């Protein structure tokens, strides 16, 4: 086992990996940008090194600075988390050059599966179904327009090297195709330095279902069931759950087998996710593979009873998976909601500022993965996700009820969040019945507005904040007992008159 690991990331995933390392008795090294200097995960690590600057390019994407910190700290391995450098094959290869173990798959696998075109070819060779379409490599826009005539509209143009919705365009008619290709190529080139695109039939009423896999260095690849990630906004997931309410047991088995087949064929090691879409008829199609730990991995941990972050580290250290596929049992139902500092009523504009009060929920069946605390500042430099709230129940309805309670109990003051928006989704009959397609938000949440007006919301937040602040003040009445004096009593803050003296 490693003695010291550097976490090349920030926020809740940095904190999550630090906790996994503690479970394994491994020392941790954090790196942080100037805006993140006071964040809780920085203090949680055994050591922390400043990456000068504020932007991601200056800091968490700065390979030279990260390797310098690893060398200074004497780290033996690097955990990339998700995002930033986690799927960068150049970084993974450079880790080896700096005598560091990259906690993830081999660089060649990251590069191969990072190409949607190559991954699609592998799927076809393994007999895994793919969406009807074609590879636009080497084709001009005119040639591409001619080649897709046999595919019915609507079409989806997507960057081969892309992710997160970048380089994606939905085209509904031939008249739109030329401009859409130009825009997709341009965005792909600026985001991924690669304008290679694919064109596929765009399926509308679909479910996004992914299979979590684990592979060790000894040739064993196992799956840890599926997650349904269909509740998305602009191709970004906001609610995930397991098991999927949209698929049958037979389909679940076939998709899991397909995922294991693909991972085995590419020689996959460590944690990864094979993503599929499922159409109205129950047919499934390979979408892509994410060669890293997913944001939504806690959902799988809750239903499978395995620590994925810890197993990433153990596999990278050379440990073999000690269990067989039939020994992994699914239990209950888990749900995850991503809490963002953003305003859904204002086009989901990010909300920046200081968290004057932050109180995560707790209680039976509730888990929170976060990287903030009261006093933390939400800056414009990084993703505005504050926390992931995860609930577990014996069945889906129980998990949903616990999630609703948890979100209502959560206190976030100082910034606007999407909590009311999440609660609105959870409370709808369509969601509770499992009707969760990828266009759910367009169909059910278009034009959504909060139930409380903005002015009322501000006044309520101010009142709560004032009461919370009053808890640490001494009462002004000198005759009051020490017991009463210690209470958080808003009456103690009145400055003019009281109708009862000495109480």
Active site residues: 292
Instruction: Measure the CA–CA gap between 101 and 316, rounded to whole angstroms.
Output: 7
CB–CB of 7/29 below 8 Å?
yes
Instruction: Measure the CA–CA gap between 457 and 449, rounded to whole angstroms.
Output: 13
Give every CB contact of residue 138 below 8 A, 6+ residues apart in sequence: none
Nearest to 83 by CA among 13, 18, 30, 32: 13
Instruction: Measure the CA–CA gap between 357 and 363, rounded to whole angstroms.
Output: 19
Token pair of 144, please? Answer: 């591409």
Instruction: Measure the CA–CA gap between 484 and 475, rounded to whole angstroms.
Output: 9
Instruction: Measure the CA–CA gap between 17 and 6, rounded to whole angstroms.
Output: 10
Chain centroid to Cα 176, Å, comes to 32
Any bridge partners for residue 353, and if so which? 378
Token pair of 202, please? Answer: 């765009």
Q: Is the peptide bond before 11 cis (omega within 30 degrees of 0)?
A: no
Instruction: Measure the CA–CA gap between 178 and 388, rounded to whole angstroms.
Output: 40
What DSSP line would sit under 350-397, residue for residue? E--EE-SEEE---STTEEEEES--TT-EE-TTS--EEEEEEEEESSHH
What DSSP line would sit under 440-459, residue for residue? HHHHHSTT---SS-HHHHHH
Instruction: Measure the CA–CA gap between 79 and 27, rounded to whole angstroms.
Output: 13
For CA atoms 253, 257, 260, 266, the dihedral sign is negative
386-421 as b/e: b if 16+ CB within 10 A: bbbbbbbbeebebbbebbbebbeebbbbbbbbbbbb
Q: Which residue carries 């006071």 as its tokens?
A: 38
Chain centroid to Cα 338, Å, comes to 7
Three-class SS state of 255: helix
DSSP single-letter state for residue 297:
H
């Amino acid at each position: 086992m490693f003695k010291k690991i550097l976490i090349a990331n920030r926020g809740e995933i940095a904190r999550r990996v630090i906790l996994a390392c503690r479970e394994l008795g491994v020392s941790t090294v954090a790196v942080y940008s100037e805006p993140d200097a006071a964040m809780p995960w920085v203090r949680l690590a055994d050591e922390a090194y400043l990456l000068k600057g504020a932007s991601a390019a200056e800091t968490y994407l700065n390979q030279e600075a990260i390797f310098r910190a690893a060398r200074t700290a004497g780290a033996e391995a690097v955990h990339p988390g998700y995002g930033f450098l986690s799927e960068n094959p150049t970084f993974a290869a450079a880790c080896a050059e700096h005598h560091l173990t990259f906690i993830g798959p081999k660089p060649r696998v990251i590069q191969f599966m990072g190409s949607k075109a190559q991954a699609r070819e592998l799927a076809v060779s393994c007999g895994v179904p793919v969406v009807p379409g074609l590879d636009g490599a080497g084709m001009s826009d005119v040639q591409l327009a001619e080649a897709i005539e046999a595919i019915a509209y609507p079409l989806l143009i997507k960057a081969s090297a892309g992710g997160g919705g970048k380089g994606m365009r939905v085209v509904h008619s031939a008249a739109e195709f030329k401009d859409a290709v130009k825009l997709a190529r341009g965005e792909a080139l600026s985001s991924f330095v690669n304008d290679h695109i694919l064109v596929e039939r765009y399926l509308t009423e679909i479910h996004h279902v992914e299979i979590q896999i684990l592979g060790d260095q000894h040739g064993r690849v196992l799956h840890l069931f599926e997650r349904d990630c269909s509740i998305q906004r602009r191709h970004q997931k906001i609610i995930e759950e397991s098991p999927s309410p949209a698929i049958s047991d037979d389909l679940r088995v076939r998709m899991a087998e397909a995922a294991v087949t693909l991972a085995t064929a590419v020689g996959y090691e460590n944690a990864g996710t094979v993503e599929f879409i499922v159409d109205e008829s129950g047919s499934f199609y390979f979408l892509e593979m994410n060669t890293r730990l997913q944001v939504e991995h806690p959902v799988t941990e809750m239903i499978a009873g395995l620590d994925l972050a810890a197993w990433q580290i153990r596999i990278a250290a050379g440990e073999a998976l000690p269990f067989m596929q039939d020994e992994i049992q699914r239990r209950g139902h888990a749900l995850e909601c991503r809490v963002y500092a953003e305003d859904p009523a204002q086009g989901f504009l990010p909300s920046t500022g200081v968290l004057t009060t932050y109180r995560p929920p707790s209680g039976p069946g509730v888990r929170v993965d976060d990287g903030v605390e009261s006093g933390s500042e939400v800056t414009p430099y990084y993703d505005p996700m504050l926390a992931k709230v995860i609930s577990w129940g014996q069945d889906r309805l129980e998990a949903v009820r616990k999630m609703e309670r948890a979100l209502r109990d959560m206190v976030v003051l100082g910034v606007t969040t999407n909590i009311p928006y999440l609660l609105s989704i959870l409370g709808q009959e369509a969601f509770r019945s499992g009707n969760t397609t990828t266009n759910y938000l367009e169909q059910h949440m278009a034009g959504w507005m909060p139930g409380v007006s903005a002015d009322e919301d501000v006044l309520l937040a101010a009142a709560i904040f004032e009461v919370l602040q009053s808890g640490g003040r001494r009462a002004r009445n000198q005759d009051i007992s020490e017991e009463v004096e210690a209470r958080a009593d808003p009456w103690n803050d009145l400055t003019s008159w009281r109708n009862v003296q000495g109480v």
